[in-house]
Structures are given as structure tokens and as C-alpha cells.
Structure 1
Amino acid sequence: MRGLWQIKREGAMRYGVVRALAGGVVMLGVSGLLGACGALGGDSGQVCTDTKKAFQQYVTQVRSVPAAEPAQWGQATQRLATRLDGLAKKTDDGALKKALQDEAGRLRSAAASVHAGDAAQLSAVLDGTPSRIGKACD
């Protein structure tokens, strides 16, 4: 049977992962995306620009959330997923629409994990975001 100290230690390790995200992994994960967005013309260009803004706002939000508040991280991640779904509806570009919808799904799944204090999935999602969204915005 696990002792109380083991449970506390496991919780502290989860929050440590969240703190690592707050310390810069989030910014590194989205930095490639921010450079690529906006390269397309028409509605796709605007959607990519709006996607860039959505991620910038997300980074600002999560940097202000204490590491000991994983529920707030989950909520912010869920809001970003909802915003990406909305942006997907605004474009006629099939590849961009699919990329945004897929990313929203990944973020929703990660939001559930981070809400429980495990940020590993969120970190993995954000690490791949620049290539997935950036590729669609090229």
C-alpha cells in the first residue's frame, strides 16, 4: 500500500512537469508555429494569423497560472482547442482546416491529462504543433 509521502511525491512530480512547461517548453513548442503563420493569402492567411494570436494568448495565459493549479492549465488548453475549432470553420483550405481540427482534438485530449496534473501529453502535443500547423500555413 502506498504511503502518504509517496502520493505527495507523485503529485509534486506532476506539478514539476507543469512547472517545466510554464518555464519555457510551451514557448519553445509554439515558436516555430509563430514564424510560419500568415504566409498564405486569402482566408487562409487570416486564419493562420489568428491561429498565431491564439497561441500567443495561450502562452500568456499559462505563464500566469501557478504550477500547483493544473485545473487552470486544463481549462486554458480546452479554450485553445475550442478556438482552433472555430478557426477551422473559417477557412476553405482543406489542409489547414484538417490541421486545425486535428490539433484541437490533440489539445482536448491533453487538457484532460493536464487537468489531472500530468503535463507530459500537453508537452508532446505542443512540441509537434509547429510542424503540423506551420506546414499547413506555409
Structure 2
Amino acid sequence: MRTFLEFKLEDAMRIGAFRAWAGLLLLGGTGLLTGCGMLGGDNTSTVCADAKTAFQQYMTQVRSVSPAQPAEWRPPTEQLAGRVGALAGKAEDTKLKAALTDVSGRLKAASATIGTGDAAQLNAVMKDTPQRIGKACG
């Protein structure tokens, strides 16, 4: 029999995965998934496309992770933070670089808490990311 805490944790992880997926869908509406990089001759379109791919791959990974096993959420979240950080290092556009750096840092912090079953930070990052990166991608 599962405890009340286990039900709450599982529910929170499912909600987090749903919000993350919904956030990824919203990226399309804000420019990250389509039509990104209209800002000029820099590498914005490439970095935005790579960010899209990173988030899509993350969503594929976490959909297969059980909400009852929060420690299994940590490695893909850390990996996403690293990929987003690397993209920030490649970005030539200052707004995009700043947005990616911020999201990377927030994902790193969220990876520490998600491993213990606290999905609040990850939910917040995934909720804000479409607007932050989408706006920077133009």
C-alpha cells in the first residue's frame, strides 16, 4: 500500500511531465520551434533549432521515467541543463545567450531537487522556458 506522500509525489511528477510537454508545445507558438532566428546573420536559428531538439529529446526521456522513481528524473534533467548551457556558450545573440544561460542554471538547480521528489523548481522552469527562449529566438 502506498503512503499519502507517495501519491502526492507521483501526482506532482505527472503534473510536471504534463506541464513540461505543454510548455514544449507552447515553444512553437512563441517562435522557438518554427520561424526562429529571424534576427539577422548570427547563429540564432541554429541555436534555437538545437534548443528545440534538446527539449524534445528531454521530453522523450522523461516520458519513460516513472513518477514513483524521482531519482531517475535527475540524470536527464542534468543532461538538459548541460546541453542548454553549451548552447548558451555558442549563441552569438546576447539576448539568446542570456536566456539560455538563465534556463541552464535553473535546470541545474531543479535537477538537484527533482532527484528527491520535489518537482516545484522543474515545473517553474518548464512553465517559464517557452516564453524566455521563444522570445529570444524571435
The number of residue pairs the alignment matches comes to 132
Identity of aligned residues (%): 45
Gaps of 5+ in 2: none
Residue number among 13, 16, 31 corresponding to 1:18 in the alignment: 13
Match of 2:56 in 1: 56
One-letter amino acid matched to 2:123: S
Is the CA contact (8 Å cut-off) linking 2:9 and 2:67 kept in structure 1? Answer: no
Partners of 2:121 and 2:13 in 1: CA distance = 11
CA positional deviation for 1:33: 1.8
When the two structures are superposed, what TM-score results if normalisation uses the length of structure 1?
0.87
CA positional deviation for 1:15: 2.2
One-letter amino acid matched to 1:39: C
Q: Give 1 or 2: higher helix fraction.
A: 1
Partners of 1:53 and 1:87 in 2: CA distance = 11
Q: How is 1:123-134 mapped onto 2 (pairs within 5 angstroms)?
A: 123-134=123-134
CA positional deviation for 1:19: 2.0
Which of these two proteins has the greater Rg computed from alpha carbons? 1
Partners of 1:60 and 1:34 in 2: CA distance = 17
Gaps of 5+ in 1: none
CA positional deviation for 1:92: 1.2
CA positional deviation for 1:27: 0.7
Q: Deviations over 1:3-22 (max 9, x none)?
A: xx9x9322331222002233
One-letter amino acid matched to 1:59: M
Partners of 1:89 and 1:124 in 2: CA distance = 23
CA RMSD of aligned residues (A): 1.8
Partners of 2:79 and 2:71 in 1: CA distance = 12
